[in-house]
Amino acid sequence: MITVVYFAWLRERIGTGREEIETQAKTVAQLVAELSAQDSYHAAAFADLRAVRVAVDQVLCDFDTPIAAAKEVAFFPPMTGG
Amino acid sequence: MICVQSAPFDLGDIANRFAVAQAGAGAIVTFSGVVRGDGGLLALEIEHYPAMTLPAITDMVDGARARFGLLDAWVIHRYGRLTVGEMIMMVATSAPHRKDAFAGAEYLMDYLKSRAPFWKKEHHRDGAAWVAAKDSDEALLARWG
């Protein structure tokens, strides 16, 4: 089981901020492919990955980051703090 | 001190508390970001990633302290619904000399802008839209190497 969380327009497009899923994905990219195949909402949210950032266990990382030991993967747009 | 909160903060009070805690500092810089009323903005809604926000800002503060020899650095950042004129966030830095206090504050601002997990949504009379990150903000971050 892995927790996947979404923020900002990804959360709105997918329709939830948090889901627990069973996955065989070994990397973030594989997880994205699995989620995108799930339904059109996920597919729409992940349509352009240049607009998506990812954190694994609350640390910013890349799409080729391994997630075998991860508890939480977060997807969100580029941050706009400050 | 790092605070991530929805409640407003009193800039004068925080600036004073910061100042009196800085024995040995020759320079103190404070910066605060305010909600601009551009283009008929009614409110700004700020979302964040609670589990990541504090660790991410802590890393930034540690980075700024090490890089510029800051004596101390405080960050307050708000989330939730804010109206025009409200303060969104502030940073305070102290150093033996002003150059490092200013640079430390700029470094923290650049990182908070592009690497702290906050997202802003602008509410107007005719709808709402997420604020897009700017390439210019990434460029500002890149200067720190």
**B99 three-state secondary structure:** helix
Q: Which tens digits make up the pLDDT trace of A38-50?
A: 999 999 999 999 9
Hunting for tokens 């101390």 — which residue is that?
A: B72
Q: How would you write the pLDDT of chain B (145 residues) with one tens digit per residue?
A: 999 999 999 999 999 999 999 988 999 999 999 999 888 899 999 999 999 999 999 999 999 999 999 999 999 999 999 999 999 999 999 999 999 999 999 999 999 999 999 999 999 999 999 999 999 999 999 999 8
Tokens of A25: 């994905």
pLDDT for B38: 83
Partners of residue A58 in chain B, C-beta under 8 Å: 49, 51-52, 55-56
Q: What is the pLDDT of residue A32?
A: 98
d(CA A70, CA B53): 18
CATH number of B30's domain: 3.90.1170.40
Three-state DSSP at A42 gives: helix
> What is the distance between the alpha carbons of residues A71 and A18, in angstroms, rounded to a whole number?
13
Q: Based on the structure, what is the number of domains in chain B?
A: 1
Residues 6+ away with beta carbon under 8 Å from B115: A60, A79, A81, B56, B60, B141
Residues 6+ apart with CB under 8 A from A5: A17, A18, A72, A73, A74, A75, B49
Q: Which residue, B110, B18, B111, is CA-closest to B60?
A: B111
The Cα of A19 is separated from the nearest Cα of chain B by a number of Å equal to: 15
Are the Cβ atoms of B113 and A81 closer than 8 angstroms?
A: yes
Q: Which two tokens stand for residue A23?
A: 């996955």
Residue pLDDT, tens place only, A20-77: 999 999 999 999 999 999 999 999 999 999 999 999 999 999 999 999 999 999 999 9
Q: Are B124 and B39 in contact (CB under 8 A)?
A: yes
Give B126's DSSP letter: T
Q: Write out the residue range of the structural domain in which residue B20 sits.
A: 2-142
B33 to chain A: nearest residue by CA? A82
pLDDT value for B39: 83
Identify from B61, B77, B107, B118 which residue to disrupt to test chain A contact, counting A C-beta atoms within 10 A and taking the largest count.
Answer: B118
Which architecture, in CATH terms, is A2-76?
Roll (3.10)
Model ipTM value: 0.95
Nearest to B125 by CA among B2, B42, B36, B9: B42
pLDDT of residue B22: 92
Place of tokens 């890349």: A62
* pLDDT computed for residue B47 by the predictor: 98
Q: What is the pLDDT of residues B108-145, one digit of tens each?
A: 999 999 999 999 999 999 999 999 999 999 999 999 98
